[in-house]
Structure 1
Amino acid sequence: MTGGGVDRASAPSGHLPVMFSQALDGLRVDGNGTYLDGTFGRGGHARGVLERLGPAGRLLLMDKDPEAIAVAEREFGTDPRVAIRRGSFADLADWDATSGGLDGVLLDLGVSSPQLDVAERGFSFGKDGPLDMRMDPDAGASAAQWLAGATEQEIADVLWTYGEERMSRRIARAIVARRAEEPFTRTAQLAAQIAQVMPRGEHKTHPATRSFQAIRIFINRELSDLEAGLDAALERLRPGGRLAVISFHSLEDRIVKQFIAGHAKAPPANRRLPQAEVFVPALRTIGSAMKAQADETGGNPRSRSAVLRIAERLHGDGGAA
């Protein structure tokens, strides 16, 4: 597998997805295989997979976002090789289309560029819009609804746990005090309140960055979905099938790294405990973690934090496929 820069010659036209060539190389697409893109977004990676599939290949597409699914239906809905399902990749093993096994699973985590760029989705503090943040606008409470009812301690816990925000308690206290006078309904309103209570001059990024990340992750159950999705992918991958995961912050990447390592390496022995059952690896790590190359980060600043990890499913007896 190569770890070089973006292969723009083989990338689809239009929006270039993060780490396109590295992810496609990592999947090692077989023309007759079955692949699942659990985070369709606007289809950049999916187009790359489809270009490599023959008439007998299959591409399964999932996304929580109805707008992403509408794009998938419009651009791929008539291709007999493609099946589309709205929902979280956490539930991929519940989809009948995956029951025959998968030769590759791709997860491009976090919020997509279109979601960030559209103010009405409420993901960005840089664009004023309704304080929503739901990837699936039909599921669960919006960020505004949650902030209206959460306790100060609950808000502080979310900001610390999912955003690693050192000022979590101060921000939570200010949010609760302010909402008693006026509810938070707009992204700019929340961002301004957070900036007001943060120490001056300590931030290279906007002072609301970590808090917005934390609330978004919590509202969308991103980390629990990731844990469930990794388990489901392992269940459905055929021997020799590849798992490719692109993460954008340390919380996601830690989960992916520990998941792969936990299924690839035997845990350290403890002489004080009875001998455990013989460890049989289910995964093989492919290469080391990769980051976007300079030619990509120069044109797409959002790719700077991207980390790609690849693993391969082994036979049930632990032997290589």
Structure 2
Amino acid sequence: MNLGHNPVLLRSAVEMLSVNPHGVYVDGTLGGSGHAQLIFSSLADNGVLVGIDKDNEAIAYATTIFTGKKNVIIVKDSFANIKKVLFDNSIAKIDGVILDLGMSSYQIDTAERGFSYISNAKLDMRMDITQLVTAKTVINEYSTEQLVRIFYEYGEEPAGMKIVREIVKTRQKQMIENTGELVAIIRKVLGQGTRGMTAIKRVFQAIRIEVNKELDDLKTFLHDVTDLLNPGGRIVIITFHSLEDRIVKSFFREMAIVCTCPPSFPKCICGQQPVLKLITKKPIVPDEEEIQANIRAKSAKLRVAERL
């Protein structure tokens, strides 16, 4: 099995993790195990790597790669459940964690997964194929209000209401089953040109985020992870769209604030102590060479914070 996925900002991300050979590290989004393998190569025999992913194929691939490695723990779960995963494996603290929030190439390119608007396939979009909610569920069962909300919030699509009206009109006649049908509905509303294509990308993103609870999982992870890090431990996160990046950026800044007193106060009375130190005040982005080699890298942003 070869998942054929080249992680974006691979070396930059692992370098920023600043791996201690004797430490405990978590790759919360295994994917094709690119980051995990590079982290593992820096670990001593008493170092530990925990790999987490929702995707069955990612878990199967990582299990094959790390067969016989006693200091590697592979867990099928969401990174949102990092606290439980570590507890279940008797790990109290970690020295670093990495998340790559991008879609793996093998997920996008496997038509039957339903992530791509290029190939016609069943509306699915599940990272975890054992969960019940699919893209088909969202499109056919969500109310008008729910669909409008996710298209605006998760897709930032200004024509969300028009698209939803056409979806509701169509599904009243027959169930919407395939990605091609959804693409046709959006094209009917916004045409065959660039505007229609942009809306298709935004709507597919919105549905995928909703199906997999991506932003909710990220918020839960951030809420829990700081308590799990040893001092000096780092959080390394690669985002691929503004919604994710906004959440990460805001959280890191909030946790790095020294004082919340109004500027007019002569001295600090809030007593707030920072929890994190910003390692990247501005995000690291791929260079032109990497973008040329992998166009999907174009929107990637890498942010890093360190536990104080």
Give the TM-score of the pair, scaled to structure 1: 0.89
Q: Does residue 62 of the first structure (1) align with residue 52 of the second (2)?
A: yes
User: Equivalent residue for 1:319?
Assistant: none
- What code does the residue aligned with 2:69 have? D
Q: Distance in 1 between matches of 2:193 and 2:4?
A: 38
Q: Does residue 284 of the first structure (1) align with residue 284 of the second (2)?
A: no
Q: Distance in 1 between matches of 2:260 and 2:122?
A: 49
Query: Are the aligned partners of 2:126 and 2:208 in contact in 1 as well (CA < 8 Å)?
Result: yes
Q: Aligned with 1:208: secondary structure?
A: helix
Query: Are the aligned partners of 1:77 and 1:83 in contact in 2 as well (CA < 8 Å)?
Result: no
**More displaced 10-residue stretch of structure 1: 249-258 or 205-214:** 205-214
User: Identical aligned pairs, as a percentage?
Assistant: 39
Q: Distance in 2 between matches of 1:267 and 1:255?
A: 21
Task: Select 1:161's aligned residue among 144, 153, 166.
Answer: 153
Task: Select 1:258's aligned residue among 217, 225, 250.
Answer: 250
User: Equivalent residue for 2:217?
Assistant: 225
User: Equivalent residue for 1:8?
Assistant: none
Q: Distance in 2 between matches of 1:91 and 1:55?
A: 26
Query: Are the aligned partners of 2:259 and 2:273 in contact in 1 as well (CA < 8 Å)?
Result: no
Q: Does residue 43 of the first structure (1) align with residue 37 of the second (2)?
A: no
Task: Select 1:77's aligned residue among 67, 72, 88.
Answer: 67
User: Equivalent residue for 2:237?
Assistant: 245
- What code does the residue aligned with 1:280 have? Q
Superposed CA deviations along residues 131-162 of structure 1, whole A, max 9, x for unmatched, are 00111111131110222111112111110010
Q: Aligned with 1:35: secondary structure?
A: strand
Q: Does residue 107 of the first structure (1) align with residue 99 of the second (2)?
A: yes
Superposed CA deviations along residues 53-91 of structure 1, whole A, max 9, x for unmatched, are 111111000001111111111111321110011110001
Give unpaired runs (5+ residues) of structure 1: 1-12, 315-321
Query: Are the aligned partners of 2:239 and 2:302 in contact in 1 as well (CA < 8 Å)?
Result: yes
Q: Which structure 2 residues correspond to residues 1-321 of structure 1 after superposition, within 5 A? A: 15-95=5-85, 96=87, 97=89, 99-199=91-191, 201-203=193-195, 205-266=197-258, 268-270=260-262, 277-287=270-280, 288-314=282-308
Q: Aligned with 1:42: secondary structure?
A: coil
Distance 1:150 1:254, change over 3 A: same
What's the C-alpha RMSD, in Å, of the aligned pairs?
Answer: 1.9
Query: Are the aligned partners of 1:39 and 1:89 in contact in 2 as well (CA < 8 Å)?
Result: yes
TM superposition shift of 1:201: 3.9
Q: Aligned with 1:255: secondary structure?
A: helix
TM superposition shift of 1:39: 0.3
Give the TM-score of the pair, scaled to structure 2: 0.93
Q: Aligned with 1:210: secondary structure?
A: helix
- What code does the residue aligned with 1:229 have? F
Give unpaired runs (5+ residues) of structure 2: none
Distance 1:205 1:291, change over 3 A: farther
Aligned length: 301
